[in-house]
Structure 1
Amino acid sequence: MPVPRPPLRCGIIGTGGIAHAHAHALTELGADLAAVAEIDPASAEAFTGRFPVPAVYGDAETMLKQERIDLVHICTPPGTHVPLAIAAMRAGVPALVEKPTALSLAEMDELVEVEAETGTPVLTVFQHRYGPAAIRLRRLVASGALGRPLVATCETLWYRDDAYFDIPWRGRWEVEGGGPTMGHGIHQFDLLLSILGPWTEVTAMAARLSRPTNTEDVSMALARFDNGAMATVVNSVVSPRETSRLRFDFEHATVELEHLYGYREADWRFTPAPGHGELADLWSAAGADDPESGHRLQIESVLDAIAAGTAPGVSLAEARRTLEFAAATYASAFQGRPVSAGEITGSDPFNRSMDGGAVPWAPIKETFG
């Protein structure tokens, strides 16, 4: 029987929509939501009307200084993630950061340096890694039961209308980091990478086909992996029938997932290769629990790790690999050539920003009035 976890004191920075998912999870898990920080009083009032919080601060630094917090959740727009995560590390408070962790690989490496200096971890929200079926699939892959991974597809086909980009920080390289590659599809291809392991090369295309945004609204990538597997990755916000799809073809089985924003067991399909029907028993889920792959599963895992004194996920090293895949997608698309893992470093413009100063289309003000 699991040992009960002592209540941990948590804080949230930013009280917009995604903060509500974090607060719901913390409430359900019995954690102590001790404080929030929000620069917009109206947003803070609306949030605390739904989630009673003992202390509300107008800035994160004051909250981190005055409160004893075991974990802080950073739920602000992407451009603020790095300075807030650094402030948390300097205050000795582990941070769980919404994706993307940083706007560039250079920023990510700055986080790595501060983490090494302070010994305080920064974690990234990639909740789809924590669904029971994904955990089971990683275990089967590691065991070798499915044979070698050969072919994979990863599609995030979502729809965001023009009004979605009315929020000032959306669709701008300097404050969001990128389009659906950074802000939407990153969850699916992070799950892909967690299954297939390190990637070696990316060849990609990206375009702004329809939306009033400076970033892309579609990207497509071909990827090769260390283990020899090959994959396609598609990220879109112009697809009216929304879906998120992943497919993995191994030597001995095909494993498929189709969902939208979170999956359950019924969203997966397992097909053994001829002569390997016994593998279906290995795939079958044990137990009656069937949680959705939402924030609660990852937050529960993080809280349990903190309470036990073990390393929680998703670490900066793992999140960096996912962010590097996004950077390679942009670098390949805008330079018209394959990009290898580890290539984007130092003074490379794609190390400093995802657009690399090489976006082939005109800024929004010149094309959309």
Structure 2
Amino acid sequence: MSDPVRVAVVGAGAIARTCHLPALRSMAGAVEIVALCDVDLAAACRLADEWNIPRDYVGIDQLLAEESPDLVIVSTPPSAHREPVTAALDAGAWVWCEKPPALSLAEYDDIALHERAGGPYVSYVFQHRFGSAARRLRELIAAGTLGSPLVALCNTLWYRPHGYFEVPWRGRWDTEGGGPTMGHGIHQIDLMLSLLGDWTEVTAVAATLDRRTDTEDVSFAIVRFESGAIASVTNSLLSPRETSSLRFDFTHATVEVEHLYGYNNANWRWTPSASADPVAAAAWQPTEDVASSHTAQLRQLLDSYRRGERPEASGADGRRVLEFVAGLYQSAFEGRPVRRSELDSSNPFYRSMAGGSPAEFTDLLKLTKGEAHVQH
């Protein structure tokens, strides 16, 4: 048996405690948690004691120098992703970083320059694509078993009260990179894109209807794909009955999932068309039941690490959803369809999710509800 992968965790907040550390513990023997780091040393010490992690640090540089971890998990707020990710890559460690990957496409591409062929690589937390039902659906789409993808719905309807935005870094373009589109719906959007492939054009609206935030609290989009499929995408933090749902209509089937923060096979429904072969349709569903989770993605990441191969949700595969969010925001700001091909380095939305004028975008989002359009 190979030696365990030596792992360090950066960030001692709720996401480390509730998601990353339980995922690591479930793989006892395959991984060894060697250290934890946080700018709040007292918080790092408390969490390290709680999880029996032998050493805690206040600085990433000291941790890397003294521990030489194989894998670094970054579970910090969005504006604190870049520094520990690039430091870890430069030190030769692989990285698994929380969403959103970066605050802009420019930042994402700059981070990617620190990777090397064969590793280290940085992968991003998009756990919903790793459940067994999603993986089975991806196989069926690739094989053409369900026919052509035609129509899709992608909804993230969540609820966050006013107090949620009192955390200083939330709801700001410079520290969170956006609102529910960037920080919440990005999970369902990534799952949709991982199944339907590359998008070509997005037409969107966004608004700040009720929350005290500089970013949007709701967005809607219509998306065209290279395959010809068309999807609608809704992101909201104003929805008291919370749900996350996706629906895919193919030539021979409708496949749906509804959950909140994670699913298993029971959350999925597979409906063959009247013309589908019922015997063949009975074989569509997955034979194993792996829930979408940090654990499921970590298992795949460790397999890629051992093989020295770029993992899923990394490189161009991890960038696609960030590119989509940038296109959605540009469409909402400029009031027109935006093609994917427009999002090159000359585009202001390449450098910032709010384009060249975050203040102007914020003012646009907060227009009175009765206004139907904006003069540019």
Query: Which shifted more, 105-114 or 253-262?
Result: 105-114
Q: Which residue of 1 aligns with 2:329?
A: 330
Distance in 2 (CA, whole Å) between partners of 1:364 and 1:341 is 23
Letter in 2 for 1:188: Q
- Aligned with residue 10 of structure 2, among 10, 13, 23: 13
Taking the aligned partners of 1:316 and 1:99, their CA distance within structure 2 comes to 14
Cα gap change, 1:118/1:83 in structure 2, threshold over 3 Å: closer, same or farther? farther
- In 2: Cα distance, 1:97 partner to 1:164 partner: 22
Which residue of 2 is the match for residue 83 of structure 1?
Answer: 83
The CA distance in 1 between the partners of 2:2 and 2:353, in whole Å, is 40
State the partner residue of 2:110.
110
2:64 corresponds to which residue? Answer: 64
Spell out, residue by residue over 1:201-230, the C-alpha distance to the aligned partner (whole angstroms, 9 max, x if none): 000000001111100000111000000000
The separation in 2 between residues aligned to 1:210 and 1:316, in whole angstroms, is: 36
Task: Provide closer, same or farther for how the CA distance between residues 234 and 5 of structure 1 changes in structure 2, counting only shifts above 3 A.
Answer: farther
Offset, 1:113 = 2.0
| Distance in 1 separating the partners of 2:66 and 2:280 | 54
Does the CA contact (< 8 Å) of 2:159 and 2:240 recur in 1? yes
Instruction: Quote the residue 2:285 is aligned against.
Output: 284
2:303 matched to which residue of 1? 304
Distance 1:6 1:191 in 2: 33
Deviations, residues 78-127 of structure 1 (Å, cap 9, x unaligned):
01111221111110111100001100011111112222589521111100
The 10-residue stretch of structure 1 (260-269 or 315-324) with the greater mean CA deviation from structure 2: 315-324
Amino acid at match of 2:24: L
Q: Distance between the aligned counterparts of 1:246 and 1:5, measured in 2?
A: 39
Partners in 2 of 1:77 and 1:126 — Cα distance?
16
Residue 45 of structure 1, CA deviation:
2.7
Q: Which amino acid aligns with 1:204?
A: A
Match of 1:26 in 2: 24
Matches within 5 A, 1:1-369: 6-20=3-17, 21-30=19-28, 31-116=31-116, 119-276=119-276, 277-287=278-288, 290-356=289-355, 357=357, 359-362=360-363
Contact 1:128 1:187 in 2 (8 A): yes
Q: Distance in 2 between matches of 1:106 and 1:119?
A: 21
Aligned letter for 1:312? P
Measure, in 2, the Cα distance between the counterparts of 1:261 and 1:118: 33
Q: Is the CA contact (8 Å cut-off) linking 1:214 and 1:363 kept in structure 2? A: no
Q: Equivalent pairs: percent with the same residue?
A: 50
1:289-330 alpha-carbon deviations (Å, 9 max, x no partner) = x33211000011111221233332221211111100000000
**Conservation of the 8 A alpha-carbon contact between 1:90 and 1:118:** no
Q: 1:362 is paired with a residue of what secondary structure?
A: helix
Q: In structure 1, what is the Cα distance between the partners aligned to 2:364 and 2:33? A: 42
Q: Within 2, Cα distance between the matches of 1:213 and 1:118?
A: 42
Find the aligned partners of 1:363 and 1:81 in 2 and give their Cα distance: 28
> In the aligned structure 1, how far is the partner of 2:123 from the partner of 2:75?
12
- Do 1:219 and 1:235's aligned partners in 2 also have CA atoms closer than 8 Å? yes
Q: In the alignment, is the contact (CA less than 8 A) between 2:206 and 2:365 conserved in 1?
A: no
Tell whether the 8 Å contact from 2:312 to 2:318 is kept in structure 1 after alignment: no
Taking structure 2 as the reference length, the TM-score comes to: 0.92
Report the alpha carbon displacement of residue 49 of structure 1 after superposing the two structures with TM: 3.0
Number of residue-to-residue matches in the alignment: 362
Deviation at 1:348, TM superposition (A): 1.8
Please name the residue that 2:374 is paired with.
none
How far apart, CA to CA, are the structure 2 residues paired with 1:304 and 1:118?
14
Instruction: Report the TM-score, using the length of structure 1 for normalisation.
Output: 0.94
Q: Is the 8 A contact 1:210 1:217 kept in 2?
A: yes
Gaps of 5+ in 1: none
What SS does structure 2 have at the residue aligned with 1:256? Answer: strand
CA RMSD of aligned residues (A): 2.0
